Structure 1
Amino acid sequence: MSRVEQGETIEVPRHGHVVAVFIPPPRQQSRFDELVVQGAARPAERDLTTRNLDQYTRIEVPEDVDPLAILLEMRENER
């Protein structure tokens, strides 16, 4: 049952034929809503959507450079 709680569908065979199927119930909330309730995610402070992406800084990262290194360098320069 714990596997079904995690979202897995379980088929129960008898003599080589499936006689029962355990499926998780439909989600009442989205996965994001569940994460917010758990405190693992925070909703946006403003009503942002993907239409707002052009408001963010875009950083071109060459293929031979580690993106994390660029972000860490930018962060260090902000101090």
Structure 2
Amino acid sequence: MSTISVREFSYNPSAVFARVEKGEAIQVTRHGNVIAILSPAGGPMERYAHLVAQGKIKLKSATAADRHGMPHYEVPEGVDPLAVLLTEREEDDR
């Protein structure tokens, strides 16, 4: 992933977007801190590709039929959705 400063971005944003259109992901920094990540548009799951690559999140494997959709969770009535996700995360870590 490439990195550019806000100043560099402001000089020629069209050129930066052209790079992104070709498939490059670019971090934009201000004073050395990442403030944005520009990534090519794609299916919903592609938005998380850099987080998966960094090991920050894990995605369950998907079949060919559902790779382009987001995971769907059935949450029983009266159950906290966050509790469902945290339980799944704990199970994945085992």
TM-score range, shorter chain: 0.3 to 0.5
- Normalization by structure 2: what TM-score? 0.31
The higher-RCO structure (CA 8 Å, 6+ apart) is 2
